Amino acid sequence: AQSVTQLDSQVPVFEEAPVELRCNYSSSVSVYLFWYVQYPNQGLQLLLKYLSGSTLVESINGFEAEFNKSQTSFHLRKPSVHISDTAEYFCAVSESPGANNLFFGTGTRLTVIP
């Protein structure tokens, strides 16, 4: 069985400061890993994903995440956050290849303080 743990339910950070949102997973097989973002009153949007290849993946708005197999982690980082990054962030995992459903973490609410 697969599961995802997001240890921090809320992360407040000042504007232009760095941030790390933690995600750990458990699985007995190879996995695909995802970060989704949910802005207020909207659905979830894919932020970035790891399927294979380079363990460091980046999004178009400056976020990056690194797949660490030995630590079963996929932490999300940004060196300098903006007010517009305020949102809820969900880490998700699926079995690879061929799995269709995702297992989501409980989410981390990032609040950027001016």
Partner 1 sequence: DAGVIQSPRHEVTEMGQEVTLRCKPISGHNSLFWYRQTMMRGLELLIYFNNNVPIDDSGMPEDRFSAKMPNASFSTLKIQPSEPRDSAVYFCASSLWTSGHNEQFFGPGTRLTVL
Tell which one of 10, 26, 42, 61 touches partner 1 (CB under 8 A): 42
Q: Exposure of 113 by Cβ count < 10 A (0-12 exposed, 13-18 middle, 19+ buried)?
A: exposed
Dihedral Cα 44, 47, 51, 56, nearest 10 deg = -150
Number of other residues whose CB lies within 10 A of the CB of residue 52: 10
The contact pattern for partner 1, residues 81-100, with x = CB under 8 A and - = no contact, is ---------x---x-xxxxx
Per CB under 8 A, the list member of 28, 70, 84, 101 interacting with partner 1 is: 101
Residues in contact with partner 1, total (CB under 8 A)? 22
Q: Contact residues for partner 1 (CB under 8 A)?
A: 32, 34, 36, 42-46, 49, 51, 90, 94, 96-102, 104, 106-107
